[in-house]
Amino acid sequence: MPESRAPIELQGISLAELHKLIAERRLPPVERWDPPHCGHSGMRIARDGTWYHQGSPISRPAMVRLLSTVLRREPDGRHMLVTPVEKLEIEVEGTAFRAVEMHSEGSGRERTIALKLDSGDAVIIGPDHPLRLVPGDHGPSPRVLVRHGLEAELSRPIYYELAEIAMAEGHDPPGLWSNGTFFALSDCPE
């Protein structure tokens, strides 16, 4: 089944329209499927978000979007491509997704922040998609929960934009509000 959904674009739409677009996206119910593990897919997602199959980059964005809809993370941390009849492991360097664009409306407790993902999907930071910092070799890695245990790492420009908002609003600890929830941007838990 070919991927026919266009990527979500943040430019030129309101957050109300974005909520509607996100709600209308029907994703496969991978959380309900429990097929047998069939081995490794020969695929990996590089740290920069490039998908590879048997060492070669997958150059079709629609194929990557389709594969991303059947991706989930197991409780043991492994990433799997899941269909109703098989489950194949996929190597993920870092996170499965990257947040590549941000849109913010409101301020303080009334702020809502939306993120566009490299998969063409979007999430709104809040209780269902919490923001957290994970310690990393090159400083904290800002991440947002997407779905099924999968996270998106925020690009550095987005992280810096969030840090500017947090500093301007002067919360103690430094952080920001989105969709009714406060997220600290201070030290990472070990």
Enter the pTM of the model: 0.85
Which contacts (CB < 8 Å, 24+ apart) does range 138-141 have?
140/188, 141/94, 141/95
Token readout for 58 is 């997958």
- Looking at the predicted structure, is the pLDDT value of residue 11 above 90? no
Residues of the chain with CATH 2.30.270.10: 97-181
pLDDT at residue 51 tops 60: yes
Provide CATH 3.10.540.10 ranges for the chain: 27-92
Q: Quick one: pLDDT band at residue 4, thresholds 50, 70, 90?
A: low
> For residue 124, what are the β-bridge partners?
114
pLDDT tens across 120-168, in order? 899 999 999 999 999 877 778 899 999 999 999 999 999 999 999 999 9
Determine the Cα–Cα distance for residues 123 and 116; give it in Å rounded to an integer.
Answer: 7
Q: Which two tokens stand for residue 42?
A: 């020969």
Q: Tell me the mean pLDDT in the region 38-55.
A: 95
Structural domain 27-92, CATH architecture = Roll (3.10)
- 70, 169, 75, 179: which is closest to 123 by C-alpha? 179
Q: Which fold has domain 97-181?
A: duf1285 protein fold (2.30.270)
Half-sphere exposure of 109 toward its Cβ, with a 13 Å CA cutoff?
0
How do residues 57-81 score in pLDDT, each as one tens digit?
A: 999 988 998 999 999 999 999 999 9
